[in-house]
């Protein structure tokens, strides 16, 4: 590694000091073409060549092909970059000749000569990867300006101010990109050469009392470039190169190397872009927006990227170059009258300032949209009244904009229904299902703490520190944010009452996260910057204290915390959402169910389009509102000493279970409902504190000692892998029998009432078929009893199991002998497959991701390589035994788009997810079907 770096360094050093002659060349790779020319209505590349030419190069070529005014130039391929970096900074041997030829062609078309004293051509060296990595790599403008070409350009343009302005920009960019970054020099934060030169420029402006860069005179600039060059020499120890060719090769190499720049590498990690793609270099004739009042530069979108409004939208600056618009040096002007806003309404639009050019630009953006059939993000420059196009690409957009544009374009017949469905990323739907913080307000606010984005949307409220306070404050009509170190089941009331939840600990599948997501509630977990003082009812973040009642704003989709109240916007009022989802369902083949534990949840989920319940957790009735009575019965059952006592307690519990089960099936009106038998370890239900134990003892009329003893007896070292799930049913068959009876009797009653019921009974935490067989015996007996008692001939019911232990997946062929359906419980399957406790991953998962040991948190998206393999095996072996085996998933992954697509490819019948994720899963499933179709073709 170290030697490689050295090689790169020395190669560049030589190139930079002696020009092309000394550029190192690797062995010739015969027949490989590295350079692709474009200009004057022709191009060797095209839009499809993104992999080879990068997005920018491919689109520059395409714009030439369709006759748009693009300054001529050429693209050096990403393959060349890969070669260059692989050989420690050596160019392929054939490159020099190809570059020379392409440069000559460019000179001819532009009518200028690179390095010429009379009529010099200047060029830019622009980066451009396959996928857009905005601002992550480098670009150098005005390459070719030097003592030889400056006088000629001044004479030709009769504009010395422009020439010196261009030259000072070259020195600033080149010294930064080529002489510092590409050399691997890492100055301290804020001490880079560009910053130093910037400071010098500001100093001059301050001394002279100028407000804007455009106030600098020729004399100021002339002096500045001399000072700049002296400063560069002093800081970097090298002369600023005065040879155009040397500048050009320096620029090319530096752009290649910017692929491995710190920012670019970090961005690739986040976006999952492979390291071996490389960037292309676009060498392009310069056009100038800084030649005076008839010159300008700007960026624009063919439609509004924030809202999707069908209005040409953008910003521009007169007498400016390149990055000035986005750099925020001056407030940019609005493009047209229709899209003026509060900040720029007093500034002139391009539409009124240069009506002819505006018309031409407007026609071009329309042509581009028609050609690419998508919203375009464009860069343009106007040189003395003449328009030039410098870039186009498909524009990034918010979720709301994505949906609006897809539907607009469908109605405009620009795209077909299939394309419209593919145009919205499933996660973008989140924005439409919850109120969100106003993005404009967020832009101006400071993030005071960051955590994991556990529950979507935005929330604004007064902070409180206990669940009881949350309930109390909410009762008084206040919006609250519940702040906890971490949450537990006893907090659910408070969590329900709060607008948002903020915790100091916990991961994406911690209790708070699961519950919040289930409700579609804004939630941030694992926010390490919080110092919570529950007793003092205050919170400290970064030295600032927030007392109870202080207002915070949360962005649960990003994990950002703000002080004070930010505006929120309700995005649900988009009438197009329903229309869009209808189209989505036309393409979907896999079912989408929901995880719901109450009749209310079931109703919400049905409104979102759920086609059944994939997971009903029986134990839910023992938490939260209305749980007092059933919980008391359950505790009585747990504390029973004999089978008779237990059976009596179960009989008391029975009506509560049956009531919930029946109401839920009724709400689902004939759609399948998967009931999971009691899953958690029993000790979770025995109170731990002495006072609570005493209370319970009094309630049950037994000595407190008994309660204590039972609690101790139930205590387990590792309850997650302890006496839970089917193991309870094996040791206490009567517990299973009670649940079977509740479900079957409820179904029988509904049927007799003329309603529909379709229960599916799911046995959790199984690892071998004999467990299933043992429970099935009990089930068959209860089934026969219920039939006899009800007089019905049959009750439609399926008997199946959750597959959440690796052994169950591996022995799926046996499991399917008894199970009529499988539902993959991927939370536990991931936990046991990895050996990662899902409640304790907070301690190391961050580093695993930072160090690229795992590509993603496997609790958020299915680990397809490992856990996915278990799932595949499970499905295949299961269907070997029972070809029509119904297979679904009920883990948190069922609502995560990539995982949903995976479930489709392994042939699942349905996915099941929390109610608010149902639309997301529907869209992901439709996209998976469309993708599979187009692959087949």
- Which of 324, 377, 828, 857 binds Mg ion (CB under 5 A)? It is 828
Shortest distance, CB of residue 404 to ligand ADP, whole angstroms? Answer: 26
Q: Which is nearer to ligand ADP, 391 or 509 (CB)?
A: 391
* CB of residue 133 to ligand ADP, shortest distance in Å: 8
Torsion of CA 789, 792, 794, 800, to 10 degrees: -40
Residue 135 binding: pick among Mg ion, ligand ADP, none (C-beta 5-8 Å cut-off by kind): ligand ADP
CB of 141 to ligand ADP, least distance (A): 6
Q: Which residue in 381, 487, 674, 823 binds ligand ADP (CB under 6 A)?
A: 381
Of 256, 245, 235, the residue nearest 178 (C-alpha): 256
**What is the C-alpha to C-alpha distance for residues 390 and 436, in angstroms, rounded to an integer?**
35
Shortest Cβ 38–ligand ADP spacing (Å): 12
Report the C-alpha gap between 601 and 918 in whole angstroms: 12
CB 217 to Mg ion: min, Å: 30
- Tokens at 651, concatenated: 């009989």
Question: How, if at all, do strands 551-555 and 560-563 pair?
Answer: antiparallel
Q: Applying CB under 6 A, does 391 fall inside the site for ligand ADP?
A: yes
Cβ closest to ligand ADP, residue 258 vs residue 574: 258
Span near ligand ADP by CB under 6 A; candidates 149-157, 285-293, 615-623, 763-771? 285-293
Of the two residues 160 and 825, which places its CB atom closer to Mg ion in the complex?
825
Q: How many residues bind Mg ion (CB under 5 A)?
A: 4
For 572, the 3-state DSSP assignment is helix
Residue showing tokens 């489709």: 904
Of 420, 520, 426, the C-alpha closest to 897 is 426
286 counts as binding ligand ADP under rule CB under 6 A? yes
Q: CA 671 → CA 668, 687, 793, 912, distances in Å?
A: 5, 37, 21, 13
Position among 45, 71, 395, 672 found at the interface with ligand ADP (CB under 6 A): 71
Contact characters 19-58, ligand ADP, x per CB under 6 A: ----------------------------------------
Task: Using alpha carbons only, give the angle 582, 909, 900 rounded to the nearest 5 degrees.
Answer: 70
The Cβ of residue 536 has, within 10 Å, a number of other Cβ atoms equal to 12
Closest CB 121 distance from ligand ADP, rounded Å = 11
Pick between residue 323 and residue 716 the one whose CB is nearest to ligand ADP: 323
CB 42, CB 67: distance < 8 Å: no
CB of residue 144 vs ligand ADP: minimum separation in angstroms?
A: 11
Nearer to Mg ion, 139 or 404 (CB): 139
Q: How far is the CB of 52 from Mg ion (least distance, A)?
A: 19
- Taking the CA atoms of residue 715, residue 719, residue 723 and residue 729 in that order, the dihedral angle to the nearest 10 degrees is 120
Phi-psi region of 90 (alpha: psi -120 to 50; beta: other; left: phi over 0): beta
Give 73-88 as a DSSP string.
EEEE-HHHHHHHHHTT
CA-to-CA separations, 9 to 19, 68, 78, 232, in angstroms, rounded: 15, 40, 21, 19
Q: Which is nearer to ligand ADP, 329 or 849 (CB)?
A: 329
Residue 300 binding ligand ADP, by CB under 6 A: no
Does 323 help bind ligand ADP (rule: CB under 6 A)? yes
- The helix (H) or strand (E) run that includes residue 124 is strand 123-129
Cα 514 to Cα 532: distance, rounded to the nearest angstrom = 22
Choose among 322, 371, 305: nearest CA to 65: 371
Residues contacting residue 885 through CB under 8 Å, at least 6 positions apart: 816, 819, 820, 821, 822, 875, 878, 879
454, 523 in Cβ contact below 8 A? yes
The option from Mg ion, ligand ADP, none interacting with 828 (CB < 5 to 8 A, set by class) reads Mg ion
Q: Which of the stretches 44-52, 281-289, 507-515, 914-922 binds ligand ADP when contact is defined by CB under 6 A? A: 281-289
Stretch that binds ligand ADP, among 280-288, 401-409, 543-551, 605-613 (CB under 6 A): 280-288
Measuring CA to CA, how many Å separate 329 from each of 211, 320, 334, 381? 10, 10, 15, 17
Q: Report the partner that residue 141 touches, choosing among ligand ADP, Mg ion, none (CB closer than 5 to 8 A by kind).
A: ligand ADP
Which residue's CB is nearer to ligand ADP, number 141 or number 524?
Answer: 141
Cβ proximity to Mg ion, 325 vs 357, nearer residue: 325
**Residues with active-site annotation:** 511, 890
284 binds ligand ADP (CB under 6 A): yes
Contacts of 41 (CB under 8 A, 6+ apart): 64, 65, 67
Identify what 458 binds: ligand ADP, Mg ion, none; CB under 5 to 8 Å per kind. none
DSSP state of 214: G
Going 59 to 60 to 62 to 63, the CA torsion angle's sign is positive
| Planar angle of CA 815, 816, 818, nearest 5 degrees | 80
Q: Does residue 524 come out as left (phi exceeding 0), alpha (psi in the -120 to 50 range) or beta?
A: beta
Residue 287 binding partner per list ligand ADP, Mg ion, none, with a CB distance cut-off of 5 to 8 Å that depends on partner kind: ligand ADP
Q: How far is the CB of 587 from ligand ADP (least distance, A)?
A: 35
**Using CB under 6 A, which of the segments 282-290, 410-418, 553-561, 640-648 binds ligand ADP?**
282-290
Q: Give the shortest CB-764-to-Mg ion separation in angstroms.
A: 6
Contact string 135-154 vs ligand ADP (x = CB under 6 A): x---x-x-------------
Tell me which residues in 333-392 interact with Mg ion (CB under 5 A): 391
- Shortest Cβ distance from residue 388 to ligand ADP (Å)? 7
Give the x/- contact pattern for Mg ion in 794-813, rule: CB under 5 A. ----------x---------
Q: Which does 561 bind (CB under 5 to 8 A by kind): ligand ADP, Mg ion, none?
A: none
Shortest approach of Mg ion to residue 758 CB, angstroms? 23
- CA–CA gap between residue 125 and residue 143 (Å, rounded): 8
Which residue(s) pair with 289 in the sheet?
Answer: none
User: DSSP secondary-structure letter at 417?
Assistant: H
Q: Which is nearer to ligand ADP, 70 or 482 (CB)?
A: 70
Question: 258 touches which of ligand ADP, Mg ion, none (CB within 5 to 8 A by kind)?
Answer: none
- Is 128 or 334 the residue whose CB approaches ligand ADP more closely? 128
Q: Which residue has the tokens 């469905």?
A: 421
Q: Please identify, among the stretches 85-93, 283-291, 821-829, 926-934, the one whose residues bind Mg ion according to the rule CB under 5 A.
A: 821-829
| 379 is a contact residue toward ligand ADP (CB under 6 A) | yes
Residues 119 to 138 in contact with ligand ADP, rule: CB under 6 A:
124, 126, 135
Query: How many chain residues touch ligand ADP (CB under 6 A)?
Result: 16
Smallest gap from Cβ 316 to ligand ADP, in A, equals 11
Q: Which of Mg ion, ligand ADP, none does residue 408 bind to, with CB < 5 to 8 Å depending on kind?
A: none
Distance of CA 770 to the CA centre of its chain: 43
Rounded CA-CA distance 74/305 in Å is 30
Q: Is 825 in the site for Mg ion (CB under 5 A)?
A: yes
- Per CB under 6 A, the segment of 283-291, 469-477, 758-766, 816-824 that binds ligand ADP is 283-291
Nearer to ligand ADP, 71 or 680 (CB): 71
> In the 8-state DSSP scheme, what is residue 848?
H
Q: How far apart are the first and last CA of the chain?
A: 45
CA 903 centroid distance within chain: 20
Residues that bind ligand ADP (CB under 6 A): 71, 124, 126, 135, 139, 141, 284-287, 322-323, 379, 381, 390-391
User: Which residues of the shown chain bind Mg ion in the complex (CB under 5 A)?
Assistant: 391, 804, 825, 828
């Amino acid at each position: 590694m170290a030697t490689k770096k050295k090689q790169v360094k020395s190669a560049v050093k030589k190139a930079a000091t002696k020009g092309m002659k000394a550029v190192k060349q690797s062995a010739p790779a015969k027949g490989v073409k590295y350079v692709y020319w474009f200009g004057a209505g022709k191009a060797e590349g095209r839009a499809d060549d993104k992999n080879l030419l990068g997005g920018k190069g491919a689109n520059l070529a395409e714009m030439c092909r369709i006759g748009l005014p693009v300054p001529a130039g050429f693209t050096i391929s990403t393959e060349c970059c890969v070669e260059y970096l692989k050989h420690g900074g050596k160019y392929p041997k054939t490159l020099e000749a190809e570059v020379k030829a392409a440069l000559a062609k460019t000179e001819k078309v532009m009518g200028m000569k690179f390095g010429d004293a009379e009529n010099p051509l200047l060029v830019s060296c622009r980066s451009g990867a396959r996928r857009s990595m905005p601002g992550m790599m480098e670009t150098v403008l005005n390459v070719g300006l030097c003592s030889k070409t400056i006088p000629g350009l001044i004479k030709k343009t009769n504009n010395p101010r422009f020439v010196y302005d261009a030259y000072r920009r070259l020195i600033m960019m080149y010294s930064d990109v080529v002489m510092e970054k590409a050399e691997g020099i890492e100055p301290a934060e804020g001490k880079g050469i560009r910053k130093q030169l910037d400071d010098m420029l500001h100093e001059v402006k301050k001394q002279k009392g100028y407000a804007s860069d455009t106030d600098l005179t020729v004399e100021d600039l002339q002096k500045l470039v001399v000072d700049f060059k002296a400063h560069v020499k002093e800081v970097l120890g090298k002369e600023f190169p005065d040879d155009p060719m040397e500048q050009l090769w320096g620029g090319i190499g530096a752009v290649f190397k910017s692929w491995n720049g710190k920012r670019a590498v970090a961005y690739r990690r986040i976006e999952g872009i492979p390291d071996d793609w490389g960037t292309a270099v676009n060498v392009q004739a310069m056009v100038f927006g800084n030649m005076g009042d008839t010159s300008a530069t700007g960026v624009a979108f063919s439609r509004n990227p924030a809202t999707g409004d069908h209005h040409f939208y953008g910003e521009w600056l007169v007498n400016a170059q390149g990055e000035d618009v986005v750099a925020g040096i001056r407030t940019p002007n609005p493009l047209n009258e229709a899209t003026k806003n509060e900040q720029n309404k007093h500034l002139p639009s391009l539409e009124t300032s240069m009506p002819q050019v505006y018309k031409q630009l407007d026609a071009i953006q329309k042509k581009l949209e028609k050609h690419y059939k998508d919203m375009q993000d464009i860069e343009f420059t106007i040189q003395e009244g003449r328009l030039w196009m410098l870039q186009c690409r498909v524009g990034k957009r918010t979720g709301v904009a994505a949906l609006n544009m897809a539907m607009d374009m469908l109605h405009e017949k620009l795209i077909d229904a299939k394309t419209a469905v593919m145009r919205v990323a499933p996660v973008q739907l989140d924005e439409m299902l919850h109120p969100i913080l106003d993005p404009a307000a967020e832009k101006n606010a400071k993030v005071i703490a960051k955590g994991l984005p556990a529950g979507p949307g935005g929330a604004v409220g007064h902070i409180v520190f206990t669940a009881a306070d949350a309930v109390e404050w909410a009762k008084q009509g206040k919006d609250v944010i519940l702040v906890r170190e971490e949450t537990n089941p006893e907090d659910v009331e408070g969590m329900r009452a709060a607008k948002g939840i903020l915790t100091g600990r916990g991961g994406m599948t911690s209790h708070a996260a699961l519950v919040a997501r289930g409700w579609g509630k804004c939630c941030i977990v694992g926010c390490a910057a919080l110092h919570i003082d529950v007793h003092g009812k205050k919170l400290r973040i970064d030295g600032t204290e927030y007392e109870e009642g202080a207002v915070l704003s949360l962005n649960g989709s990003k994990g950002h915390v703000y002080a004070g109240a930010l505006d929120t916007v309700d995005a649900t009022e988009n009438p197009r959402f329903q229309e869009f989802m209808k189209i989505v369902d036309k393409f979907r083949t896999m079912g989408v169910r929901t995880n719901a534990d109450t009749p209310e949840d079931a109703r919400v989920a049905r409104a979102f389009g759920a086609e059944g319940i994939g997971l009903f957790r029986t134990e839910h009735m023992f938490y939260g509102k209305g749980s007092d009575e059933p919980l008391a019965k359950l505790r009585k059952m747990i504390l029973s000493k004999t089978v008779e006592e237990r059976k009596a307690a179960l009989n008391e519990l029975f009506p509560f279970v049956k009531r919930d089960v029946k109401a839920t099936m009724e709400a689902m009106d004939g759609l399948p409902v998967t009931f999971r038998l009691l899953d958690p370890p029993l000790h979770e239900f025995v109170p731990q504190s002495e006072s609570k134990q005493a209370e319970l003892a009094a309630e049950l009329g037994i000595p407190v000692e008994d309660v204590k003893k039972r609690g101790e007896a139930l205590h387990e070292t590792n309850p997650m892998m302890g006496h839970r799930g089917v193991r309870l049913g094996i040791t206490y068959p009567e517990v299973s029998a009670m649940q079977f009876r509740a479900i079957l009797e409820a179904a029988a009653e509904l049927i007799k009432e003329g309603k529909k019921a379709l229960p599916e009974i799911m046995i959790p935490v199984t690892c071998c078929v004999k467990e299933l067989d043992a429970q099935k015996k009990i089930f068959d007996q209860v089934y026969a009893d219920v039939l006899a008692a009800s007089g019905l001939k049959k009750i439609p019911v399926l008997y199946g199991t959750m597959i959440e232990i690796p052994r169950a997946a591996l022995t799926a062929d046996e499991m399917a002998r008894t199970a009529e359906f499988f539902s993959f419980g991927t939370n536990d399957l991931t936990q046991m497959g990895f050996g990662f406790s899902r409640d304790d991953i907070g301690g190391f998962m961050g580093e695993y991701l930072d160090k690229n040991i795992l590509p993603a948190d496997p609790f958020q998206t299915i680990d397809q390589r490992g856990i996915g393999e278990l799932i595949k095996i499970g499905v295949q072996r299961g269907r070997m035994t029972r070809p029509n085996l119904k297979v679904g998933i009920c883990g948190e992954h069922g609502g995560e788009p990539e995982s949903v697509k995976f479930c489709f490819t392994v042939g699942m019948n349905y996915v099941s997810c929390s109610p608010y994720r149902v639309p997301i899963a529907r869209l992901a499933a439709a996209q998976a079907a469309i993708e599979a179709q187009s692959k087949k073709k």
